[in-house]
Amino acid sequence: MTMAKLLNLKTWYQLFVNNFLAMVAVAFVAAALRRAWPVSIDDLAGSLRAVPPVRILTAVILTAGVAQLRRLHRPRDVYLVEYGCFRPKPCFRAPFATCLEHAHYLPYQVDPESVSFSIRLLERSGIGEETCLPNSYHYMPPDRSLEAAREETQDVIFSAVDEVFARTSVRPEEIDVLIVNCSIFTPTPVFVDMVVNRYKLRPDVQSLNLSGMGCGAGLVNIGLARHLLQVAPPGTHVLTVSTEILSSQYYIGSERAMLLPNCLFRMGAAATILSNLPERARFRLGRIVRRMTAARDADYHCIFQEEDGKGVLGVRLSKDLTTTAGQALKRNIMAFGPLVLPVSEQLLVALSLLKRKLLSCWGAKVRLYRPDFHTAFEHFCIHAGGRGVIDEVQRGLGLSDEDVEASRMTLHRFGNTSSSSVLYELAYIEAKGCMRKGDRVWMISFGSGFNCSSVAWECLKAAIDSDGPWADCIHRYPVQLPEVALQDI
């Protein structure tokens, strides 16, 4: 049987299974009407007149009461009104030549072998020549002071928040809840206080500051905002900000596992405004699933802040990071898949599991069916944590190069911007004009701990323009990347 015939057969199978209940209901109604036919208008009127008015009134009141109870107990829908991303200025650009020059001027901090490793990693990481680093990294030696970190914080956070307010009619005084996340750097006053002070938010604004959750904290923000909005009064607005401040994190030692963050992470931030009313909204929030694997010691230590053998503080990334991410994603899919996949795909998975269980008695190995997530989503935003992470997710989900284009191009243009990366990817899809009303988006993020989060969105209104972080470069993308994996380094 040819591939075209197999695809056609699967299409008919999905159409039948996914609409089976609707077809049964239509057949039942048709059979009932056929049996009762013919029925005249006079007969119907006579039957209604025979029913006591008290019973009719009682039925109406009960129906209205049940409908009201159902509406009150059903969780409110949550909507993404708008989002904005920090767009770095050209003065922040850190091409490979600059990185190499700076490394050679710091021989007392980094040995030649470490310099060679870092440059080799940069060239094969999927990161491009236009990624940006904060001002503090452009000094020799890098400025790791508190003042430099505060300066970077104001640059990235305020720019992202300015962008989101400029793109929507929501005003700062309408914000009821503020959530900001940054993993490692946490000053006093904290980030939420900086935002409240800058935008003069109301005195009764509820503020939350999240730290230590790594690159997955952006979707944790969204999940927390959803829980708050589902119980808040209608018209409540939540402002979330996701970032990672690099200035105070620069590692000046020589251990390779701790040099990786210096090479992969770049400055970035994203802000969102969410609400529990559909007015002015652009996306509807769907299912959210978060799974943690911190009970396993290897996963817990996969991304770990500690001192090296010489007492230099840094973040150690395990060589098993991509494998750990793949295992975490698998656990996440086991919970997320049944919530979003159509019945046709769930049935194929169930049959595959049954086949494996039956044949395992005879020692036969049966490969489980991998569900087709294209039946549930049109777009995929995979955290741009590195080339190896994107490769692992692509293989695990059976995605095409086109499906992961937004992730690879975000890594190339902006680097690993930590928890804000998935919104840069969403901006790429919209800048390319690929987003349509009704399209569904799957965001996947990974964070220290180890944890994996999945968030589903449905587009209600596509962007009217491509103005955003990609405005000055989208015409040059996608670009061809060298065929080299991180494991080859």
Q: Where are the domains of the chain?
A: 78-340+376-476
- From 28-32, 121-125, 162-166, 426-430, the region with the lowest mean pLDDT: 28-32
The end-to-end CA distance of the chain, in Å, is: 43
Q: Show Cβ contacts of residue 217 under 8 Å, excluding neighbours closer than 6 positions.
A: 181, 182, 183, 210, 242, 418, 419, 447
Neighbours of 335 (CB within 10 A): 13
Tokens of 113: 């072998």
Q: What local confidence, expressed as pLDDT, does residue 485 receive?
A: 46
Mean pLDDT computed over 286-314: 93
- Per residue in 201-235, pLDDT (tens digit) is 999 999 999 999 999 999 999 999 999 999 999 99
Rounded Cα distance, 391 and 301, in Å: 22
Q: What is the pLDDT of residues 333-376, one digit of tens each?
A: 999 999 999 998 999 888 888 888 877 777 677 788 899 999 99
CATH superfamily of 78-340+376-476: Thiolase/Chalcone synthase (3.40.47.10)
132-182: pLDDT as tens digits: 999 999 988 889 999 999 999 999 999 999 999 999 999 999 999 999 999
Cα separation values, 228 from 87, 168, 237, 238, Å:
29, 21, 10, 9
Measured between alpha carbons, how far is 272 from 168 in angstroms, rounded to an integer?
A: 11
The 3-state DSSP class for residue 201 equals coil
Q: What is the pLDDT of residue 63?
A: 79
Summarize pLDDT for 241-292 with one digit per residue, the tens.
Answer: 999 999 988 888 888 889 888 888 999 999 999 999 999 999 999 999 999 9
- Concatenated DSSP letters of 62-94: HHHHHHHHHHHHSPPP-EEEEEEE----GGGB-
Averaged pLDDT for residues 422-428: 98
- Cα radius of gyration (the chain): 27
Does the structure show a pLDDT above 80 at 72?
no
Torsion, CA 226, CA 230, CA 235, CA 239, rounded to 10: -20
Return the pLDDT at 487: 42
Is the pLDDT confidence value at 47 over 70?
no
Least confident span in 64-73, 223-232, 291-300, 382-391: 64-73
Average pLDDT over residues 88-102: 89
User: pLDDT value at position 486?
Assistant: 41
